Chain A
Amino acid sequence: MKNNPPRVALFATCLVDAMRPQIGFAALALLEQVNCVVEVPMGQTCCGQPALNSGDQDGTRKIAKQNIKLLAGFDHVVVPSGSCAATIKKDYPDLFEADPVWHAKAVDLANRTYELLSYMSDIWAWRPKDVSCAATATYHDSCSGLRSLNVQAQPRKMLAGVAGLEMRPLEGANVCCGFGGTFCVKYPDISNAIVGEKAAAINATGADLLLGGDLGCLMNMAGKLHRDGSKVRAFHTAEILAGMGDGLAIGETA
């Protein structure tokens, strides 16, 4: 693979596109370190998960077809979110079970699609070099990445190579933060109770930073921590690994 660098599409996800472009640039920086030829297809919007989880399968299929066409021909498709990557990898094929032509295309895309952190670690065995971040940090495992894609050890292995970063275990790191996509706005009271417990567990670690691999969950936890006056700062793991840990955390301004 090293002699023939793969052509990689970065699928940034709708949340990163709108709410924190820096995660997209961090992903680009990481992918360039392993000599991928990276492109950002301009026709991308969203993986379709909000429609899928609201029960609109027809709408999701339209969005899925758009993405299948957009991402055809790339050797790999990399997504800086376990949740969105799982939608493409696991749900797209299921959506076209009754349609052999599109099912085959969906399976083909699924086989080429990777979540960013596991891609860097599993495919490239990448470890940070000369990256430092003088802080203590704790890690939350987002549910889709953890349970659908087995993203658990990879981010921790890579973060262990960041100079000056001390990791602190999070009690209940594998327990949902209460985001759940549209769940958090459809049932805000329940979501708040769940994220309240998560925020308490994060605060109890005494860590400076909260890290994770999914912006939705990070925004939920960071937003709750900030509302409650916590000093914990939140970053996507890719940002730390790309050496952006000395910059602005989620919700900070210069």
Chain B
Amino acid sequence: MNAFHGRVTAALADATLKIAIDRTTNTARAKRAAAIAAWPEFAQARVLGRDIKDHVIANMEYYLNQFETNAKKTGAKIHWARTGQEACEIVVGICKAANAKTVTRSKSMLGEEIGLPHALEAAGIERVETDLAEHIIQLAHEKPSHIIWPALHKTREQVGDLFRANHTDPGALETVEQMVNSARRNLREKFMAADVGISGANFLIADTGAICTVTNEGNAELTTTPPRVHIVTAGIEKLVPSMVEAMTMLRLLVRSATGAELTQYTTFHAGPKRTGDVDGPEEFHIVLVDAGRTTMLAEGLAEMLRCLRCGACMNHCVVYRQIGGHAYGATYPGPMGSVITPSLDGLEKSQDLPRACTLNGQCQEVCPVAIPLPKLIRGWRTKAWVQGYEPVYTAWALRIWEFLALRPALYQIASNMALRVMPVFAKGGWIAKMPLAGGWTRYRDMPRPQAATFLAQYKKRQAAK
């Protein structure tokens, strides 16, 4: 049994996990559906969003240069990182230069992707996660299981236990409100004491050099404003030409992610504190990270760079909703993760991800930028086949089947022979167990076929006419 199968088996056996997944994803799907139903221009906006992203991806260099020029004008310092490791080194370097003892971090999937939490810990810098769900998984020493709700795999009951064990003066933790208040009390002093605040960026606005963060908790603002230094880490695909395009993307992103029209906090950060500003960081760094993005472009995955990280694909994925995020064994789970992970981690290691998909297409249907996820997932299967990763047993079964499918007369003989054998295993109209059919019959019965194929019966019928 490989690692993926092991994780799947564990996830499927975890009834509490399934409760947690259903609570969040069922609500997310219902809210998104209501938001989309109340937005008659959704289909148009989706096409526009797709075209904006495609335009930026096709003109990446131009917009990166424009962003750099304009961000510098705001007083931001720009850093370029080819790899995740480079990005981490840059961030740690800035923290050390600032003599940082503690940093606050507002949730960023890029940070998870490049291993920033680990890099900070390794450098001996205290890291405080300020997003409520990231706070939860930091206390639990776990990784995110969803890109919007990192602690989706935990029930509120489990969170209550965790806070009771870890918070100072948690008080009663019966309701969600009490849990939030306990987290707020515990996090508030950390916000004010941090030397450096690290955020991601939902958008990089090329024509102003500003970056945009969206949260529902206000933790990004508290992460980026009080500390002396604000560091932004952002993937280069987060670019949009201007505020106009950012607005289109925001409408698509938030409705697709949570079903709200807008996040509680939508903030545009541009440069450090200016003369006369009451607050704001003294230094403002933006680390622009490639970490495999240009490789994805070269690998034919340009459409994947449209991704806004809304999570709608995983909320609607029948596989994700059974196994949850951790079973994928990667930073990004669900359909978008099954496309990105083979590129980031290598196909051999992650070949199960594109394979463990029914190709039902609902992810593409709900994607706010119309990423053809099933096509891209199938593209990885093609690469896996060509590179010989298909398991020997299924590869040979397929080759034998193809050999027959290309020889119709022989195919009919083989089919009719098989049909004469199969009833041996039947009990009444159903087969509960049959050699070579274990994958099917482990959980379902197989209907007993008739004695002859359709073509054979049809031929007989025509002859009798």
| 3 pairs of A and B residues whose beta carbons are closest in the complex | A180-B358, A185-B439, A55-B385
**Given contact pairs A55-B378, A63-B405, A180-B360, a sample of 10 additional A-B residue pairs in the complex whose CB atoms are under 8 Å apart:** A12-B455, A52-B378, A54-B398, A55-B385, A176-B362, A180-B357, A183-B357, A187-B356, A190-B323, A251-B445
Residues of A within 8 A of B (CB): 12, 14, 16-25, 28, 40, 42-46, 48, 50-57, 59, 62-63, 66, 143-144, 147-148, 174-176, 178-195, 219-220, 222-224, 226-227, 248, 250-253
Of residues 355 to 398 in B, which have CB atoms within 8 Å of A's CB atoms? 355-362, 364-365, 378, 380-386, 390, 394, 398
Cβ–Cβ contact B446 & A223, under 8 A: yes
B121-129, B156-164, B290-298, B411-419 - the one binding chain A = B411-419
Among B378, B398, B415, point to the contact of A18 (Cβ < 8 A): B415
Q: How many angstroms from the CA of A194 to the CA of B317 in the assembled complex?
A: 10
Q: How many angstroms from the CA of A21 to the CA of B449 in the assembled complex?
A: 9
With A63-B406, A185-B439, A187-B8 in contact, do A143 and B449 touch (Cβ < 8 Å)?
no
Give the Cβ gap from A17 to chain B, nearest Cβ, in Å: 4
Q: Does B429 contact A (CB under 8 A)?
A: yes
Q: How many angstroms from the CA of A177 to the CA of B9 in the assembled complex?
A: 20
Q: Can you pick out 16 interface pairs between chain A and chain B where the beta carbons lie within 8 Å of each other?
A: A19-B449, A42-B408, A50-B398, A55-B385, A56-B382, A57-B382, A62-B402, A63-B406, A143-B358, A144-B361, A181-B358, A190-B323, A192-B442, A193-B12, A222-B447, A227-B443
Q: How many angstroms from the CA of A181 to the CA of B359 in the assembled complex?
A: 9
B358's nearest neighbour on chain A, judged by CB, is A180
Give the Cβ gap from A19 to chain B, nearest Cβ, in Å: 5
Cβ–Cβ contact A193 & B322, under 8 A: yes
Cβ–Cβ contact B359 & A53, under 8 A: yes
Cross-chain pair count, CB within 8 angstroms: 193
Most chain B C-beta atoms within 10 Å of own C-beta, residue among A42, A176, A179:
A176
Q: How many angstroms from the CA of A134 to the CA of B345 in the assembled complex?
A: 56
Q: How many angstroms from the CA of A187 to the CA of B440 in the assembled complex?
A: 10
Most chain B C-beta atoms within 10 Å of own C-beta, residue among A40, A175, A223:
A223
Cβ–Cβ contact B12 & A190, under 8 A: yes
Q: Does B62 contact A (CB under 8 A)?
A: no
Name the B residues within 8 Å of A251 (CB-CB): 429-430, 445, 447-448
Cβ–Cβ contact A18 & B418, under 8 A: yes
Cβ–Cβ contact B402 & A17, under 8 A: no
With A17-B415, A66-B406, A226-B445 in contact, do A24 and B394 touch (Cβ < 8 Å)?
no
Cβ–Cβ contact A59 & B445, under 8 A: no
Most chain A C-beta atoms within 10 Å of own C-beta, residue among B318, B428, B438, B440:
B318
